[in-house]
Chains A and B, each alone.
Chain A
């Protein structure tokens, strides 16, 4: 691609925030060394609640506020509780969480069906937008998928004869 040399002086706002002291360790933080004293600050009021919240074992307690979205439950919840026995530095923490996320998807299908909702996976995946803006690619992918599945079915059928 052709490059376009740009005259900086013609760029609106050029240099207005230039800071000669910003090299290379401009203090992003207003250093006060407060952390040298550990948990020394006056903590905010502690949030109460009966929702199960898992907390990192790299901190001594819950933070003053915490999120209450989607508490752990089911098999995925068991895995998440297991994961939080390990520190954030351990694969023992992250890999079970990734597995729990995938199990959670399957649990989501079960929950949907249990409340009489059949998830419209095509709509959830935004295929309407694909149909509108990327129809050729969508049809190609559907065609390839159908061909692969057909071939697999044909192969398995012939194998069982």
Chain B
């Protein structure tokens, strides 16, 4: 996969990745997903996204080569590769903040390194390819447990942990009303996981009807199309006995629809770090003393949100890239026990050669797409 500019990607031949560090591995990709956050790159809204780069931070693969310092993995292992590149040694990794590693992204300090996610996130080519270089191979990559469906495994690289951490950061207490903004794969998973923490009521708000229907059945959740609501915040107050939700989760990020000014400034003119409509609604829909959990991705520049209400309502805002390695043991248990069924989110399996069409289908929400997975030729043969 080769990014050529906003809304333009294609398949190209690129040189085989090489071992560049003794803790590297070279992995032959078996599954790679397109993530909602890839669409920020695809739309050209992430600074330092260079034409020629290969995207893809959700992938599984078979270890083909290892560097001299790799001890835990061996050639032939089938691994799921968390989207964070983490050294395991820095003070942040030592405190299980694997999404905030300080030894993997030279280009920025505010974000850890992510495969195939611009030079702002480290300048690594990603997994929407046949082969990929995996640094710090002994730290995060995890051998897929026997019997686990590879489709479940690839969903454990980002979607499941990000959705789970969204619910975890929300500090949900038994009986709480949780409102999730966004019915994309992560929003649906966050709604599903909110129940695991004891939510008493789970509400999902979006404007894409087929995704709301999916969330209604999968999470399960009460679902509302904001195009049918005059005022989302007012609706939330009314439906919570005028208190507001205990917890609001922003699972949308920079591409939010629903507010013309935010869309103009954040999505069209790129004058702020994204369209913060969902976050705006979250801040105003949560009750006083409530918690906002943000997993939707925004750009690095300023973004308009009603910060005064955060102060006046005494809100707690919690946000981070998911710490996948920290969460994997628990989430693998949940998948193996059947509590979570992440592969059910996969609606499209597309040959890697058709990556341009896959991006279009996902970004334009065609053919009732929830989650597309790219399959390299070696897997299909």
Bitwise, A26-39 to B at CB < 8 A (1) or not (0) is 10111110110100
Bitwise, A41-53 to B at CB < 8 A (1) or not (0) is 1111101110001
Task: Determine which of B6, B95, B125, B330 lies in contact with A105 in the assembled complex, contact meaning CB atoms within 8 Å.
Answer: B6
Q: How far is the CA of A125 from the CA of B364 in the complex (A)?
A: 11
> Is B94's CB under 8 angstroms from A41's CB?
yes
> Is B201's CB under 8 angstroms from A124's CB?
no
Min distance, Cβ A113 to any Cβ of chain B, angstroms: 13
Q: How far is the CA of A142 from the CA of B361 in the complex (A)?
A: 18
> Is B20's CB under 8 angstroms from A54's CB?
no
In this complex, the member of A17, A54, A128 whose beta carbon has the largest number of chain B beta carbons within 10 angstroms is A17
Chain A residues closer than 8 Å to B125, beta-carbon distance: 67, 69
> Is B8's CB under 8 angstroms from A63's CB?
no
Interface of A is mostly: loop
Q: How far is the CA of A12 from the CA of B192 in the complex (A)?
A: 10
> Is A26's CB under 8 angstroms from B171's CB?
yes
> Is B323's CB under 8 angstroms from A63's CB?
no
In this complex, the member of A11, A101, A128 whose beta carbon has the largest number of chain B beta carbons within 10 angstroms is A101
Interface of B is mostly: loop
> Is A70's CB under 8 angstroms from B106's CB?
no
> Is B48's CB under 8 angstroms from A129's CB?
no
Chain A residues closer than 8 Å to B239, beta-carbon distance: 3
Q: How far is the CA of A130 from the CA of B360 in the complex (A)?
A: 7
Chain B residues closer than 8 Å to A86, beta-carbon distance: none
Q: Does A14 contact B (CB under 8 A)?
A: yes
Q: Does A140 contact B (CB under 8 A)?
A: no
Q: How many residues of A contact B (CB 8 A)?
A: 82
Chain B residues closer than 8 Å to A13, beta-carbon distance: 195-196, 334, 339-340
Task: Determine which of B195, B291, B359 lies in contact with A8 in the assembled complex, contact meaning CB atoms within 8 Å.
Answer: B195
> Is B52's CB under 8 angstroms from A70's CB?
yes
Min distance, Cβ A16 to any Cβ of chain B, angstroms: 6
> Is A29's CB under 8 angstroms from B96's CB?
yes
Q: Does B148 contact A (CB under 8 A)?
A: no
Chain A residues closer than 8 Å to B306, beta-carbon distance: none
Chain A residues closer than 8 Å to B366, beta-carbon distance: 129-130, 133-134
Min distance, Cβ A155 to any Cβ of chain B, angstroms: 25
Q: Does B332 contact A (CB under 8 A)?
A: no
> Is A56's CB under 8 angstroms from B109's CB?
yes
Given contacts A64-B103, A98-B270, A119-B4, contact A44 B136 (CB under 8 A): yes
Binding site for A on B (CB under 8 A): 4-10, 20-24, 44, 47-54, 69, 85, 87, 89-92, 94-97, 102-110, 113, 119-120, 122-125, 135-136, 165, 168-169, 171-174, 193, 195-202, 212, 216, 220-225, 228, 239, 270, 291, 300-301, 316, 318, 320, 323, 330, 334, 338-340, 356-361, 364, 366-367
Pick the 7 closest A-B CB pairs, nearest first: A126-B360, A67-B123, A105-B5, A34-B91, A67-B124, A18-B198, A129-B357
